Structure 1
Amino acid sequence: MEYIVIIIVALVAISVFRYFRQKNYLKTLTEEQFREGYRKAQLIDVREPQEFERGHILGARNIPVTQLKQRLIELRKDKPVYLYCQSGSRSARAAQLLHKKGYEDISQLKGGFKKWTGKVKTK
């Protein structure tokens, strides 16, 4: 029983640590804040291609988080990177990878695409 408590406490501590560390390099923006800056940024949809085709933010490029490591050459380090996925977990994972690779100006859409009310393009 003691081991279970120790494991739970350790997992919570790790989650809290990751959350605060992530806040140092990833800005989570409201839709309004996201709209203000995404045209001057590299707008990246990190969802899978079939999700992207069903609808995406106008002007976004699709680089799935599963392909991001192989496709880093497509992103510039000197321009802001605006990320989004369906709800926010994949864009956070993508931001972590970009941060490790030296990208500094990284933002994500709070709530992800499912909360987006702006213009959408479908294929």
Structure 2
Amino acid sequence: MKEITVQELKEMMDSGEDFQLLDVREPHEFEVANINGELIPRNDQPEAGDKIARDKKVVVHCRSGARSGQAIRFWENKYGLDNLYNLKGGILAWSDEIDPSVPKY
């Protein structure tokens, strides 16, 4: 599985790179802390194929990187995608290394 670090994601954001950011946590987690990803909670993931970009890099994140890895494996198998990148360390790493104002929970 392809991964990117929070530093690489920050560079992509700062440079204005065209990519999609997907957040696979649950709505109550998204309310506590988010980095402006499109929310696709677990129950919506099996039918989310039309929400995932095919023509650009897609960064998928969760709290720590485990659930996003599961979502990526599922989507790669179901839809044959090869443009998905797991955010290593998830939103916890983002809070630790990029923006400490993002709450950890």
Alignment TM-score, normalising by the size of structure 1: 0.68
Q: Report the residue type matching 1:65 in the other structure.
A: R
CA distance in 2, matches of 1:107, 1:33: 11
Corresponding residue for residue 86 of structure 1? 63
**Once the 2 structures are TM-superposed, how far is the Cα of residue 115 of structure 1 from its aligned partner?**
1.4
Deviation per CA, 1:4-57: give whole Å up to 9, x if none.
xxxxxxxxxxxxxxxxxxxxxx22212111222355211000000110111101
Higher-helix-fraction structure: 1
Could you say if the C-alpha distance between residues 103 and 37 of structure 1 is closer, same or farther in structure 2, counting changes exceeding 3 Å?
Answer: farther
Q: How many residue pairs align between the two structures?
A: 95
Larger deviation, residues 47-56 vs 67-76: 67-76
Q: Report the residue type matching 1:69 in the other structure.
A: P
Q: Which runs of no fewer than 5 residues in structure 1 stay unpaired?
A: 1-25
CA distance in 1, matches of 2:33, 2:82: 28
Larger deviation, residues 39-48 vs 63-72: 63-72
Corresponding residue for residue 36 of structure 1? 11
CA distance in 2, matches of 1:92, 1:72: 16
RMSD: 1.9
SS in 2 for 1:47: coil
Larger radius of gyration: 1
Q: Report the residue type matching 1:43 in the other structure.
A: L
Q: Which runs of no fewer than 5 residues in structure 2 stay unpaired?
A: none
Q: How does 1:1-123 map to 2 (within 5 A)?
A: 26-37=1-12, 39-57=17-35, 59-100=36-77, 101-117=79-95, 118=98, 120=102
Residues 41 and 79 in structure 1, CA contact (< 8 A), matched pair in contact too: yes
CA distance in 1, matches of 2:56, 2:4: 17
